[in-house]
């Protein structure tokens, strides 16, 4: 009998423990659910506020976009006008550049021609000139008077092995 009482007592205690556990579990679940509902409500309220703010921002953005669209249309018209002016300016610049290039080319050709002529003249002058050391040696020994110039030519070494334009100088400077 004692075992029946003890079994019944244990059963009642177990049943009460299960009931308490179930109540605690349900209470905890309800608390969590209410907290979650409050959190979701708060998030929803914030979301609605954000949506209203975004709607207002969108309305302002659309107004700004319309204003910018008008400004862009005016800017494109101005850009087309400026583009036409730029194209005309570039065409004029290309024409002027071509004229300048032709002028510079002509000046360069004339300068090069002059340089070639001067170079040719200098080359001929150097080819036809007597060797400087011979003339300076001869003039150092004799003063340049009429008689001195004849004596200078007497000091120059005359040789028959000289050929070309220098041979003319030797022939012209030979003493009589």
User: pLDDT per residue over 21-65, tens digit each?
Assistant: 878 888 888 888 888 888 888 888 888 888 888 888 888 888 888
State phi, psi for 88 to the nearest 5 degrees.
-65, -40
Per-residue pLDDT, 167:
54
Separation of CA 6 from chain center: 98
The H-assigned helical ranges of the chain are 2-128, 132-141, 146-155, 165-172
Q: How many CA atoms lie within 13 A of 140 on its CB side?
A: 6
Token digits for 141? Answer: 């020994």
On whether the pTM is more than 0.75, the answer is no
Of 139, 167, 169, the closest CA to residue 155 belongs to 139
Backbone torsions φ then ψ of 130, nearest 5 degrees: -70, 155
138's tokens: 């001869």
Residues 6+ apart with CB under 8 A from 141: 155
Of 110, 113, 126, nearest to 169 (Cα)? 126
First CA to last CA across the chain, in angstroms?
A: 179
Give pLDDT tens digits for 108-140. 888 888 888 888 888 887 777 666 555 555 555
Q: Give the pLDDT confidence of 54-85 residue by residue, as tens digits.
A: 888 888 888 888 888 888 888 888 888 888 88
Could you give the CA distance from residue 59 to residue 86 in angstroms, rounded to a whole number?
39
> What values do phi and psi take at 17, rounded to 5?
-60, -40
Q: Which residue has the tokens 């179930």?
A: 22
User: Do residues 134 and 156 lie in contact, with contact meaning Cβ atoms separated by under 8 Å?
Assistant: yes
Q: Which of 127, 128, 172, 133 is nearest to 153 (CA)?
A: 172
Residue 33's pLDDT is what? Answer: 86
């Amino acid at each position: 009998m004692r075992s029946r009482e003890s079994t019944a007592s244990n059963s009642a205690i177990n049943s009460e423990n299960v009931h308490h556990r179930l109540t605690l579990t349900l209470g905890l679940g309800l608390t969590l659910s209410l907290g979650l509902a409050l959190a979701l409500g708060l998030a929803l309220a914030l979301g609605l506020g954000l949506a209203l703010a975004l709607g207002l921002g969108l309305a302002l953005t659309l107004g700004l976009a319309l204003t910018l669209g008008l400004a862009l249309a005016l800017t494109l018209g101005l850009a087309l006008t400026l583009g036409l002016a730029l194209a005309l300016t570039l065409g004029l610049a290309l024409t002027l550049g071509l004229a300048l290039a032709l002028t510079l080319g002509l000046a360069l050709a004339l300068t090069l021609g002059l340089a070639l002529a001067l170079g040719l003249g200098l080359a001929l002058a150097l080819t036809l000139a007597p060797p400087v050391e011979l003339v300076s040696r001869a003039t150092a020994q004799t003063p340049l008077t009429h008689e001195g110039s004849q004596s200078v030519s007497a000091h120059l070494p005359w040789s028959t092995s000289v050929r070309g334009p220098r041979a003319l100088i030797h022939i012209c400077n030979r003493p009589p």
